[in-house]
Amino acid sequence: MNNDQPTHASPCLRLNDKAPDFTARSTHGVINLSDYSGQWLLLFSHPADFTPVCTSEFIAFEKAADKFQALNCSLLGLSADSIYSHLAWIMNIKERFDVDISFPVIEDLSLVIAEQYGMIDETSVSTATVRSIFFINPEAIIKTIIHYPMTVGRSVDEILRVLNALVATEKGEVAAPEGWQAGDPMLLSPPTTIEDIKDRMTNAQNPVDWYYNKTSGTGD
């Protein structure tokens, strides 16, 4: 792994930006971002192969792979390690934990993708990527970005919760309240006119107040 500092600053990607395109080698062959057009993509980086926290995460991602697939979402891992390191690590996970990693892992030896996506921790003494997650929608728009420190593992259950909420709120008519889980009541978007307020308070199924109205609880 290259331990030199990046030669230029990482861009500041924001929510609703177009996800930067890329072409990279992976454990499943050459991959382009455009290969995932029409589906959700969870792009996540890890600091290094053969590390305990990353191994625990990969096992958890794989065990939940069918849940991501049910939401029309593919998984794609990334680190600055080589493709050969990725392959050896995946084989080791199979040997030691009896788990087959089915999703591809891309190599980013030159850190081009890491810098495009702002994955480099600017306070770090190395070029190891932080634990970054990018939720990219079927139109290649970034909908959520989450960064974790190297010492804290991600919760796959929470990642699935966020993805479920993104899918459920995609049309913009409802929002997910704190702690929302799939199937729970959602919140209607607040009214923007006096007439809308009157209509909401008269006709809403569960009006707590004019700005706070729950749905029936389907989450759809």
Instruction: Give domain limits for the chain.
Output: 23-154, 174-214
Amino acid residing at 69 = Q
pTM (two decimals)? 0.88
Residues 39-96 pLDDT 10s: 999 999 999 999 999 999 999 999 999 999 999 999 999 999 999 999 999 999 999 9
Q: Which of the following is catalytic: 54, 114, 119, 128?
A: 54
CA atoms within 13 A on the CB side of 22: 20
Q: Where are the alpha helices (DSSP H) in the chain?
A: 52-63, 65-70, 83-97, 112-116, 156-168, 194-203
Sole residue written with tokens 């030669």: 7
Tens digit of each residue's pLDDT (9 = 90 or more) over 93-116? 999 999 999 999 999 999 999 999
3-state secondary structure of 131: strand
| Sign of the alpha-carbon dihedral angle for 76, 78, 82, 84 | negative
Lowest-confidence segment of 29-38, 86-95, 104-113, 211-220 by average pLDDT? 211-220
Catalytic status, residue 54: yes
Task: Identify the CATH homologous superfamily for domain 23-154.
Answer: Glutaredoxin (3.40.30.10)
